Structure 1
């Protein structure tokens, strides 16, 4: 192992010690630890680890191409993270969707279970929920005292989420049965549920009155967030203009597809028709349909356009029943591949599920999307640094997942005009994200000169982004509370498509070989993506 690879290994290990919850979510194989300190001391310790690692990296010699790639990725990610710490963002890290409350809840669900030793870990994690939430509240209080408030909207939305989580672990405790740990698990779950309730009270009564009324973060904070999400500096004015033009292009393609599905129909008419004719009823049927489509995609791709390692030929569909997030999401396998990759599907209060819309998301979250890419990185072994196997770049991974949807279209997997319309509607949603996110946070005017509000963002996402009604509110909450993350999808896809177009001009281009080599490189910031993929054979 070279000194650079060793430094990457050491950083992952030390980072996992300081933040075992994030390590659990990312699939790091490490000894069990019940809690992360999400308070000021925990943030300071993680910032210091970043500073020490960057200082040590600056003194190490690059001895190979693999070394150079590992060093570039480590440096880029840690510099972006360091800027986030220096800006004081950890002290106002408050998101109504995909925030820390959700992270803690998922960290319980992801723990392995089986024998009583593992169930003791589950009990310990549940007992740690009050401690972790208290540390987070302490950090938020310090942020308020230092004049670093999060938006009031995010406080109220996170409070509602925390309130919903009171009782969320009961099914887990019930699944254990009446073994010797039943009482301990029940008491630990009750303690966790009480902590969710107290956190909801705190956010509403204590934090929200002192929070910021403004939703947008402004240019300086947005630049830091964009660097984190994209691994590149952003020209927001150019991206904003491109987003509106891309939305118009997609809308024209959708109009053609609507004519194929139901000539002369409007969008509301054709979507209502497809909701009735391309759907499944009931949660069990929904789960079964999702699992079958995941499995079929793996079967059809393996050995043709990709070589999928045996441990990655399984994706586990998980229904996220208590989640209020509008969007499905993915968690990768563990480093040892013992825990499978999982896709998580919120119900959004539905009992009928429009499969014509959701087929494209199966390819996005599963194969050839996140599972194939992130799973391949986990399975890469020592060819990639441990840091590269664990720490990704949203623009790279989400861009690949949108590219995967486009690839599925090229492979004819949307032969049914309804499902292809669903794919285009999904692309419109991701493009609407670009203009909403940049427009809100930088206060850029809409094409008609009007200003962004929460209501206007919901309107654009519904009417131009073609979002399902159950997704509109949580999606917009997410954009308002997680600046620059939502732009990583379409801007990442744009970068992947441009890189492939360049590669295809070379004599002897082979798409399967390009895919294999590109995925095998591991995560890359968009600032280096084109340059790096030019060297892929």
Structure 2
């Protein structure tokens, strides 16, 4: 192991020791404890680790191309993380529905439960939830004292999310049965549920009255967030204008697709027809449909456009009835591959599930999207640094997943009625995200000169982004509370498509070989993506 790879390895281990919850979520092997300190001292320790790792990295010289790539990626990611700390984001780290609350809660479901020792770990982590949420509140209190506050909307939504989490571990505990740890598990779950209730009360009664009324974070904070999510510094005003143009292009294609579904129909009429005809009823039927589509995608791709490693032939498809998210999401396999990759599908109170609009999301979250991409990293062996295996660049990762949706269309997989319209609607949603996210946080005017508001953002996402009704509110809350993440999909897809087009101009271009080589590189910031892919 080279000194640079050793430093990457050491940074992951030390990071896991300082943040055991994130270690569980990321699937890092090892026993690092059960409780993360989200208070000011815990944040200071993580910031110090970043600074010391960067200082040591500056003393090391790469000895190979793999070394150079590992060093470049480590430096870029840590510099972006350091900027987050330096703008005081740790003292206003409050976002819904994805954020610290969901990380703490979902990490429990990701713990192994094969024997009583593993169940004891589950009990310990559940019992630690109140302490962890109290430490988080200490950081938020510090932010209030410094004038570094999150938006009131995020506090109110976070309170509602925490309230809904109370009781959501009961199903997991019930699955243990009547064994010797049943009482301990029940007690720990009750403690966790009380922790959520206390957090909800804090957010609603103490934090929300002192939180910021403005949803947007402004240019300085947004630039830091964009660098963290994209791995690049971009012209945000140009990206805003590009987003509007891309949205209009997709809308024109949707008109053509509507005519193919029902001759002479408008897009609204075609979608109404699909909603009335292309669906399954009941969560069990939806889960069966999802599993069949995940398995079918793996079977269709393996040996043709990708060589899929055997451990990745399984995706754990999971319904998430307690989730407050408006959209599906993915968690990667554990480092030792004992925990498979998992797709999570919020139910949103539905009994009827429109399959025409979900198929493209299967390709995004599963194969050839996140499961293939993050799975390739998990099975990469010594080719990638350990830091690369456990770091994430949203522009790279979400860009690939959106590219995967486009690839599925190119491969002719939209054979069922309306599923191509579903793909286009998803693409319109991602273009709408670009304009909403940048427009709100930078306070840029809409094309008609009007200003953004929560209601206007919901209207654009619903009418121009074609978002499904039950997802509109949580999606907009998400964009407002997680600046610059929403733009990573479309801007990342743009980067991937441009890189592929450049590669395809070379003699002897082979798409399967290019896909394999591209994924073997691991995560890369968009600022370095084209250069790295041009070397393949």
TM-score interval for Structure 1 and Structure 2 normalised by the shorter chain: over 0.9
Which residue is 2:407 aligned to?
A: 407
1:174 maps to which residue?
174
1:149 match? 149
1:264 Cα deviation from its structure 2 partner:
2.2
Which string of whole-angstrom CA distances, capped at 9 and with x for unpartnered residues, describes residues 462-496 of structure 1? 00000000010000000000000000000000000
Determine the structure 1 residue equivalent to 2:214: 214
- CA gap of 1:32–1:59, structure 2 versus 1, over 3 A, is closer
- Tell me, yes or no, if the aligned pair for 1:32 and 1:121 is still in contact at 8 Å: no
Q: How does 1:364-403 map to 2 (within 5 A)?
A: 364-403=364-403
For the residue of structure 2 that corresponds to 1:447, the secondary structure is coil
The answer for the alignment partner of 1:38 in structure 2 is 38
Partner of 2:103: 103
Which SS does the other structure have where 1:506 is aligned? coil
In the other structure, the counterpart of 2:481 is 481
Give the match for residue 269 of structure 1: 269
**Cα shift at 1:417:** 4.7
Aligned 1:120-519 pairs, distance under 5 A: 120-519=120-519
Contact 1:25 1:107 in 2 (8 A): yes
Q: Secondary structure at the match of 2:363?
A: helix
- What count of residue pairs does the alignment treat as equivalent? 536
| 2:92 corresponding residue in structure 1 | 92
- For 2:415 and 2:424, how far apart are their aligned partners in 1? 13
> Whole-Å Cα distance in 1 between the matches of residues 347 and 265 of structure 2?
28
CA shift for structure 1 position 32: 4.6
Deviations along 1:277-335, one digit per CA (max 9) or x if unpaired, are 11111011111110110001001100000000000110010111100100100000011
Q: Distance in 1 between matches of 2:239 and 2:409?
A: 25
* Two-structure CA RMSD over aligned residues (Å): 0.7
Q: Which runs of 4+ in 1 moved over 4 A?
A: none
Which residue pairs with 1:528 in the alignment?
528
Give 3-state SS (helix, strand or coil) of 1:480's partner: helix
* Unaligned ranges ≥5, structure 2: none
Asked if structure 2 preserves the Cα contact closer than 8 Å seen for 1:329 and 1:344, the reply is: yes
Tell me, what secondary structure is at the counterpart of 1:408?
helix
Mapped to 1, the partners of 2:497 and 2:417 lie a distance apart of: 24
CA–CA distance in structure 1, aligned partners of residues 505 and 176 of structure 2: 58
Distance between the aligned counterparts of 2:60 and 2:467, measured in 1?
49
The answer to whether residue 9 in structure 2 is matched with residue 19 in structure 1 is no
Counterpart residue number, 1:61 = 61
Indicate if the aligned counterparts of 2:278 and 2:417 stay in contact, CA closer than 8 A. no
CA distance in structure 2 between the aligned counterparts of 1:392 and 1:118, rounded to whole angstroms:
27
Structure 1 CA distance, aligned partners of 2:41 and 2:70?
Answer: 29
**SS at 1:107 equivalent:** helix
Q: Deviations over 1:181-211 (max 9, x none)?
A: 1111001101110110111011000000000
| CA distances 1:79-98 after superposition (whole Å, capped 9, x unpaired) | 00000001100110000210
Q: CA deviation digits over 1:153-181, x for unaligned, max 9?
A: 00000000000001000111111111111
CA distance in 1 between partners of 2:521 and 2:439 (Å): 33
1:69 counterpart SS class: helix
- Give distance in 2, aligned partners of 1:296 and 1:96: 33
Report the TM-score when normalising by structure 2: 0.99
Deviation at 1:267, TM superposition (A): 2.7
